[in-house]
Amino acid sequence: MKEISKSDIDTLLKLQTAETQITRIQSILEKINSEKEKLDSKFRKFQKAHDEKEYQLEKTKAFCREMENEIQIVGERIQKSNENLRFVKTNKEYQVLQREVDDNRKRKEQLENELIDHLDEKEALEQEVNTSRTDLDQLSEQTRTLKKEIEEKSSDDQEELDELLVKRAEISKNLDPALMDNFNRISKMNNGLAVVQVKNEVCMGCYVNIPPQLYIEAQRYNSLILCPQCSRILCYIES
């Protein structure tokens, strides 16, 4: 057991008081950050869905443009074939050109029918995108407002945490580095609770009885006593 003084015990108790407050505020701030992350996550999901709608709209627009171009090309072929029909000299040439005209007319009609369907799809997607963009803008503003409110509410907690961290650092200067390392290690293991009172041979951290000899040692204030069950530092406080 490492030798310590009554002054070290008092310092450990002060340090634990600061540590308890720090842990409490950090827990509050973690919940606040979680709330902010939920708001951001909701916005990102909505943004992703909106982006997907815009992507589908742009794809449909591009497809419509391609079809319009193809319809124009096929129409030009029909016009050219009709012009060439006036100059054919044989029946065979006439039949070949006429077949080309008929095939191109069928193709043009098919493309025009498909284009109508895709134009209807484009119009529906445009309405969806416009509605989604409006909803996205509203959600963006709502998210900013809620996050601002959350941050304003947490500003006092953050200021208090900063002050406590400074206070903790000042208290730590009065402890031997090895003892401080022990405190930090035990605090990390026990969610910020490294130092607990021992009363009537019971550890007040885990509420397990400790050996009588350890209880006697704790009352002497001359050695670092750890609970055999939870490994917290035991401090005896006179009533």
Residue among 187, 218, 237, 175 at smallest CA distance from 1: 218
54, pLDDT greater than 90: yes
Distances (CA, A) of 69 to 64, 79, 115: 9, 15, 11
Tokens of 8: 């070290």
User: pLDDT for 132-179, tens place per residue?
Assistant: 999 999 999 999 999 999 999 899 999 999 999 999 999 999 999 999
Domain with CATH 1.10.287.1490 in the chain: 21-174
User: pLDDT for 171-195, tens place per residue?
Assistant: 999 999 999 999 999 999 999 999 9
User: pLDDT for 110-133, tens place per residue?
Assistant: 999 999 999 999 999 999 999 999
Specify the pLDDT at position 16.
Answer: 96
Residue among 139, 187, 181 at smallest CA distance from 2: 181
Q: What are the backbone angles phi and psi of residue 116, rounded to the nearest 5°?
A: -60, -45
Q: Which CATH class is domain 21-174?
A: mainly alpha
Specify the pLDDT at position 2.
Answer: 63
User: pLDDT for 68-108, tens place per residue?
Assistant: 999 999 999 999 999 988 888 889 888 988 999 999 999 99
* Cα 48 to Cα 133: distance, rounded to the nearest angstrom: 12
